Amino acid sequence: MVENERIAVQFNHVQKEFADQMVLTDLNLTIPADEIFVLVGPSGSGKTTTLKMINRLEDPSAGEITYFGRPVADYPLQELRWSIGYVLQHIALFPNMTVAENIAVIPEMKKMTKTKIQSRTTELLAAVDLPAAEYAQRYPHELSGGEAQRVGIVRALAADPGMILMDEPFSALDPLSRKQLQELILRLQAKLHKTIVFVTHDMHEALKVGDRIAVMHNGVIHQVGTPADIQQHPATSFIADFFAGAEVGHVVWADTLTQVLASGVLPQTTQAPTTQITAHTSVAAISPRLGNGETLAVKNSLDGHTYQLDAAGLLKYIVAVHTSSDSEGVH
């Protein structure tokens, strides 16, 4: 790490125990300021627990965590929480408040002026492609899942926090919205240069959004490095295997037809649905038939329509969802 880099968060010999279970035995982690730091690992590896200890939703059983050089335990709790934005998988917007009112909650508590709140709301909504004129007065039930997550990001940014924690912020979205929001967060970051700690269990997402990545497994950090470091020099066989699963081909293989249909790239058909092909079928299961030149008709139980799927359609899906616009080709 470069010496003059500012450090946002430091974990020193942190342990965390729940009831009888030791979840983190000796966590040491340095999170630099002004970049996207991704914590990636399979379910149950301790990512959320690690994140929650930063804004003290959880306290460590032993060890110390500092936030910009000062132990988190020494900050007045309210000051610490206000200084750290938090974005979750399912944004809990207040259902009886408009988008603008939801965004204003923390800035109002921080006694920001009305004019300032309004201009900041307008500016941030524009930055996430939700023009205020169209969206500020809507209620949460009038938003799509992806739009609600965007409002959640704006809400976390509204009070100009020193850092933002994001816990699987895009995991509940369909693949296309997910890809759009990954690109949006990168665009936003190019302007704002915030310190962001981003938790995901998806290595593909980690490689795409992270300036630096920490790979976690069973409460242990296996490696911290840039995406290139981790891709080219995986420190353990666990990382090499985890990374192999993130390659484009593997990801597509495991996708279900629900995901393919949700991407919106397939044309509708009036043909009767092909028997025994349901939306839960995986791409792996239908690929041999597509390879033989068959055209399948797949019914989407969500919208009731039937869609035409052939090899070209699957390729369109792969291009739409699994390659980034700046990608130089297959990883």
Binding site for Mg ion (CB under 5 A): 48
DSSP 281: -
Tell which one of 5, 6, 17, 18 touches ligand ATP (CB under 6 A).
18
Instruction: Assess 201 for contact with ligand ATP (CB under 6 A).
Output: yes
Tell which one of 37, 48, 147, 182 touches ligand ATP (CB under 6 A).
48
Burial class of residue 124 (count of CB atoms within 10 Å of its CB; 0-12, 13-18, 19+): buried
- Binding part of the chain for ligand ATP, among 15-23, 59-67, 186-194, 281-289 by CB under 6 A, reads 15-23
Start-to-end C-alpha separation, the chain: 26
Give yes or no for a contact between 106 and 82, defined as CB atoms under 8 angstroms apart.
yes
- Binding part of the chain for ligand ATP, among 42-50, 75-83, 100-108, 318-326 by CB under 6 A, reads 42-50
- Joined together, the tokens standing for residue 302 give 């969500």
Residues 6+ apart with CB under 8 A from 201: 40, 41, 42, 43, 47, 168, 171
State the binding partner of 96 from Mg ion, ligand ATP, none, CB within 5 to 8 A by kind. Answer: none
Least Cβ distance, residue 199 to ligand ATP (angstroms): 7
| Residue 49 main-chain phi, psi, to 5 deg | -60, -45
- Binding part of the chain for ligand ATP, among 47-55, 134-142, 154-162, 265-273 by CB under 6 A, reads 47-55
- Joined together, the tokens standing for residue 121 give 């709301």
- Binding part of the chain for ligand ATP, among 18-26, 74-82, 104-112, 283-291 by CB under 6 A, reads 18-26
Instruction: Assess 49 for contact with ligand ATP (CB under 6 A).
Output: yes
Give whichever of 48 and 300 is closer to ligand ATP, judged by the CB atom.
Answer: 48
Instruction: Assess 194 for contact with ligand ATP (CB under 6 A).
Output: no
- Joined together, the tokens standing for residue 174 give 């369909």
Per DSSP, the three-state class of 68 is coil
Give yes or no for a contact between 143 and 129, defined as CB atoms under 8 angstroms apart.
no
State the binding partner of 49 from Mg ion, ligand ATP, none, CB within 5 to 8 A by kind. Answer: ligand ATP
Which positions lie near ligand ATP, rule CB under 6 A? 18-19, 21, 23, 41, 43-49, 201
